[in-house]
Chain A
């Protein structure tokens, strides 16, 4: 039983980790918690769903998710967040909520409110050491691993990635994102969007696709990003896994509804006790 929950937790955790990666990238560089990250995930899920329905290929679905979510994320930056760069963070917070709502509304109008399910072939669970693992979980884990590898590849092996990390490391540069080279920011928002898109697709495959799905995962993604340390991609993924496993394991004890409450409690605890999280810089939350 524990093993079962552990596996579910790992997959769940990878999804959270990718979403948290999207959050932490933007939070670390543009210096605000992007409330539209959740609905960007939903974009990825719907784009992937549409692509999969048309072609039957999960690979294409992944591509569609990455492209659609990345573009939506970039549009949000260019049209809304960039013009607001010098304003107090409250403006960015409110605008992000606005973007989130707008995305969700458009998706609702295009695709309707009913839940959609990915038509994937049924397959028998594979048994490993007494634990039954659905093959889809393995596929999803592989997808996540690839996405993470690609993301970290960009961050550590490309020059633009290095620039991104440099900006995240230097708090003084970070808040004045309006004067930073456009290229770095474009790459950042594309990357964050892509990560969110993959997370959304995975979530859609694993559960269902609905307009609310991303927003529901937002708080958990924030919690993971904070636990991992804002601005630390490694932290986001690690914290995502931790949180995912913790949520799954605690479900038999606290019940289904309180999963999000657990994430909230973790977030509060981190902010009050060790604000920089696991891997973050020593930077104030005050």
Chain B
């Protein structure tokens, strides 16, 4: 039982990092990033491949964050010139292109076969509970640091400017500030968080394949962010928690009646539930379960 709880706590924490990254991009700045899973994938594969060359994990994590942030730079350059809707489509295309590249470049990523045997975090502690707990501790610490950092940002001049961009970009330009610089920084920051989340994912699951990085993951994070409350650090945490409840809850449902509902049916049920959640929250409760995002 404890092993199970630790496992879902780790996955939940990974989603917290992803949700924090998306919160700074969309919640605070208004950037409609539909390609978040792309940065997650880049971080995961980068850390896996680098660490498999013998590089110590801590360093490969840093590299993963850095490479993911660098990948955000061209996306940022594109973002400067595009409206929300075009930006959303472009970011979606970006994450799909990442997935397709991973699938195609077999020499690097082993393609669809995937990469087994990614070095496990805290491998020295063995495969059981001690290792898992250590991993949980590490990721919880990173989540805490990330949340504190975001809190600091939200209350800072930088946070003020990015919220201004979300509220009225042209007005900001009329005051002499170019939204471009800020958008790039925000995208890079969100991407770095997703990259770190990816690295944790890689070194916990220890097996990577391109099918793990489909757009559905991006929209799990969107759902989490919307449910928890857009634009708030607490919203990201609450949302990730709700997401885990949803994912595990649907798994339980299936365990209760394995003959009634096949695995693929459960996949459809989950997909439909996410779709429904996105629709209903957008229609009726855009500020999320926790509430109004005008107050931090």
> Are chains A and B touching in the complex at the 8 Å CB cutoff?
yes
Interface residues of A (CB under 8 A from B): 31-33, 35, 80, 83-84, 87-95, 97-106, 108-109, 112-113, 211, 219, 222-223, 226, 255, 257-258, 260-261, 263-264, 267-268, 271-272, 284-286
Interface residues of B (CB under 8 A from A): 26, 30, 32, 34, 78, 81-86, 88-90, 92-94, 96-97, 100-101, 103-104, 216, 219, 222, 226, 264-265, 267-279, 282-283, 286
B19 to chain A, nearest CB (A): 15
Closest 3 CB pairs of A and B: A105-B272, A101-B275, A98-B278
Contact B97 A260 (CB under 8 A): yes
Chain A residues with Cβ below 8 Å from B272 are: 101-102, 104-106, 109
Contact A271 B78 (CB under 8 A): yes
Contact A257 B104 (CB under 8 A): yes
User: CA separation between A278 and B276, bound complex, in Å?
Assistant: 37
* Given A33-B89, A108-B268, residue A286 in contact with residue B276 (CB < 8 A): no
- The 18 sampled A-B contact pairs (Cβ below 8 Å) are A90-B26, A90-B30, A90-B84, A95-B279, A97-B278, A102-B275, A104-B272, A105-B275, A113-B268, A255-B104, A257-B103, A257-B104, A271-B81, A271-B82, A271-B86, A284-B83, A285-B83, A286-B81
A40 to chain B, nearest CB (A): 14
* Given A94-B282, A97-B219, A271-B82, residue A261 in contact with residue B101 (CB < 8 A): yes
* Given A219-B96, A271-B78, residue A95 in contact with residue B268 (CB < 8 A): no
A280 to chain B, nearest CB (A): 13
Chain B residues with Cβ below 8 Å from A109 are: 265, 268-269, 272
A26 to chain B, nearest CB (A): 11
Contact B283 A83 (CB under 8 A): yes
Contact A219 B82 (CB under 8 A): no
Contact B271 A33 (CB under 8 A): no
User: CA separation between A219 and B264, bound complex, in Å?
Assistant: 25
Chain A residues with Cβ below 8 Å from B26 are: 90
* Given A105-B271, A264-B97, residue A93 in contact with residue B84 (CB < 8 A): yes
Chain A residues with Cβ below 8 Å from B226 are: 94
User: In the complex, what residue of chain B is closest to A265 when comparing beta carbons?
Assistant: B97
B169 to chain A, nearest CB (A): 9
Chain A residues with Cβ below 8 Å from B277 are: 98
Chain B residues with Cβ below 8 Å from A88 are: 84
Partner of A102, one of B81, B90, B101, B279: B279
Chain A residues with Cβ below 8 Å from B268 are: 104-106, 108-109, 113, 211
Chain A residues with Cβ below 8 Å from B88 are: 33, 90, 93
Partner of A268, one of B83, B90, B270, B279: B90
Chain A residues with Cβ below 8 Å from B103 are: 257
